[in-house]
Structure 1
Amino acid sequence: MNARTMTVHGRAGARKVANGSVVESAARWGFVARGVIYLLVGVLALHIAFGDGGRQADRGGALAELSEQPFGSLLLWTLGAGLVGMALWRLSETLFQAGGGDDHRTGKRLLSAGRCLFYAFVAYSVLAFASGESGSGSSDKQSQDVTARALELPAGQWIVGVGGAGVVVAGAWVAVRAALRKYGKHLKRGAMSRRARQFVDVTGIGGGVARGLLFAAVGVFVVRAAIAYEPDRAKGFDDTLRAFAGTPAGPWLLVLVAAGLVLFGFFSFCMARWRRV
């Protein structure tokens, strides 16, 4: 067997592992973990909307809420492991992405690589919190600290401004794809009842639009911080959600967005059950 044949067989074997039951299980646990976080953030945001703003409505607040439950430490480690699984699944997509032409495949791999890095960071923050470190502090402080460091770089205002604009575009992309039900092509619809499909559409559209709106709003605040050269104007999830209550719509806009995040949590659970991996 020559070297080329061995390489081909090696790649085929690696792809088989990537598409196997271990990676599939990791992906499904990852969706469950993502769902738990968004569900808790949405519930905390609802508390803020109705006058109870004692806990921050972001990942840190959600983890603090979990840590106070019976077997809280075990729940946190399980959540972190699920997010590691999500990152590994996205990594397998990056390495073995199937698709049409080379350009199409390259674009999907780059998108999967970005998602892999994102979930790896989230997993790290959750595991750091579980181990007693400060890896998942306030999202508002994290956003302001990152913005302040970036503004100190050469052309820092442009870097922060372009980065914020990118988050706005990403948020709009998430919302539009949800509204157009782009998630449907990934579902095992043959295994779903009519009621299940309806539930997925309600949670997928409502949850995806709310999630996209939240990301877009975070990006807007980053752009404003760049223009004013004031890092304190950047906001994380918590301050951004609270800002919705300060609009002319009052707390009801926050209620709608918070309810949407709860829906996205349930949508993630549906993806864990019916998504093709």
Structure 2
Amino acid sequence: MDASVSVRNNGGAQVERAARGSVMKGAARAGFAARGVIYLLVGVLALQIAFGDGGEQADRQGALGEIAQRPFGAVVLWALGVGLAGMALWRLSEAAFGSAGSEGRTWKKRLPALARSVFYAFVAYSVLALAAGSGDGGGSSDQQSKDVTARALELPAGQWLVGLAGAGVAVAGLWIGFRAVTRSYHDKLRLGTMSRRTRRLVDVTGVGGGAARGLVFAAAGGFAIRAAVDYRPDQAKGFDDTLRSFAHTPAGPGLLAGVAAGLVLFGVFSFFMARWRKV
């Protein structure tokens, strides 16, 4: 009995060491780099919309479509898909074994890691399907939002469900922005290995990029709440429509340009995370 328990314990320890090993760390860094590429392109597309050229969708599908049209686009898509799959596996390992930091093994860290793992697994699948020629990159975020909202509103207490989901997204957006402005990401970075100039660049991209990303999520959540209150699924907006809505505020296209520049900064920040994130 003791021997079998010892074997199981040793096997579990080997699995945990593998989950924290160099291969998994490489997968995490590849995932951050892939995320950076997508946000960088989404930000560029949003800038084009702000300056009057709104032909492409400023969301993940739009970014992937831009890549697919370029020379060696399929190769880049395969690389992005593999990188995002690596991110999904790393997040899954965090959910199973805990993450870096004093609270890494608590459930309040593990459950979000599991949710992120599922999300990145879906995104990776959609990117790889597009690379293989059998998918569309996950479809338009705007149409997805409207379809999901319409189906949810048909459920019992559907308005409440959509409203609560929208409130959750809005609160998450505000939380993302707050954590960016307060630079809480410092705890996740190996700041001691950076030069002073690099730390300044990290803060410029982390604060500006995180605040812009949080604003987009908060606005999208607000639109979902409005769709629930008015019982109109067409009022729900995905990433692209949410970004375009900033151009129709009193601040005009200037606000959209600022948010778009912030998303470009977040893409660059993701590259910094790929290099200096504690994993």
TM-score (ref. length: structure 1): 0.97
**Matching residue of 2:126:** 125
Q: Following the alignment from structure 1 to structure 2, what is the Cα–Cα distance between the partners of residues 101 and 140?
A: 36
The one-letter code matched in structure 1 to 2:217 is: F
Post-superposition shift, 1:192? 0.7
| Match for residue 256 of structure 1 among 250, 255, 258 | 258
Q: Secondary structure at the match of 1:2?
A: helix
Distance change (3 Å), C-alpha of 1:48 and 1:272:
same
Distance change (3 Å), C-alpha of 1:101 and 1:246:
closer
**Matching residue of 2:195:** 193
Q: Deviations over 1:157-213 (max 9, x none)?
A: 111111111000111111101111111111111211111100000000000000010
Q: Secondary structure at the match of 2:106?
A: helix
Instruction: Could you tell me which runs of 5 or more consecutive residues in structure 1 were left unpaired when the two chains were aligned.
Output: none
Q: Secondary structure at the match of 2:269?
A: helix
Q: Is the 8 A contact 2:64 2:137 kept in 1?
A: no
Distance change (3 Å), C-alpha of 1:270 and 1:100:
closer
Post-superposition shift, 1:100? 5.0
**Matching residue of 1:162:** 164
The one-letter code matched in structure 2 to 1:259 is: A
State the aligned residue count. 276
Q: Following the alignment from structure 2 to structure 1, what is the Cα–Cα distance between the partners of residues 268 and 62?
A: 19
Please tell me whether residue 96 in structure 1 is matched to residue 97 in structure 2: yes
Post-superposition shift, 1:101? 7.0
Residues 64-75 of structure 1 mapped to structure 2, 5 A cutoff: 64-75=65-76
Q: Following the alignment from structure 2 to structure 1, what is the Cα–Cα distance between the partners of residues 226 and 114?
A: 28
Residues 167-182 of structure 1 mapped to structure 2, 5 A cutoff: 167-182=169-184
Please tell me whether residue 51 in structure 1 is matched to residue 49 in structure 2: no
Instruction: Could you tell me which runs of 5 or more consecutive residues in structure 2 were left unpaired when the two chains were aligned.
Output: none
Post-superposition shift, 1:119? 1.0
Q: Following the alignment from structure 1 to structure 2, what is the Cα–Cα distance between the partners of residues 146 and 101?
A: 34
Q: Deviations over 1:91-141 (max 9, x none)?
A: 000000056579x71111011111111111211221222222234221100
Distance change (3 Å), C-alpha of 1:268 and 1:106:
same
Residues 1-277 of structure 1 mapped to structure 2, 5 A cutoff: 2-98=3-99, 100=102, 105-132=106-133, 133-277=135-279
Q: Is the 8 A contact 2:103 2:109 kept in 1?
A: no
Q: Following the alignment from structure 1 to structure 2, what is the Cα–Cα distance between the partners of residues 14 and 245?
A: 50
Post-superposition shift, 1:30? 0.2
Q: Following the alignment from structure 2 to structure 1, what is the Cα–Cα distance between the partners of residues 144 and 245?
A: 17
Q: Is the 8 A contact 2:163 2:229 kept in 1?
A: yes
Q: Deviations over 1:235-265 (max 9, x none)?
A: 0011110000000001111011000000000
Percent identity between the two aligned chains: 64
TM-score (ref. length: structure 2): 0.96
Q: Is the 8 A contact 2:61 2:136 kept in 1?
A: no
The one-letter code matched in structure 1 to 2:54 is: G
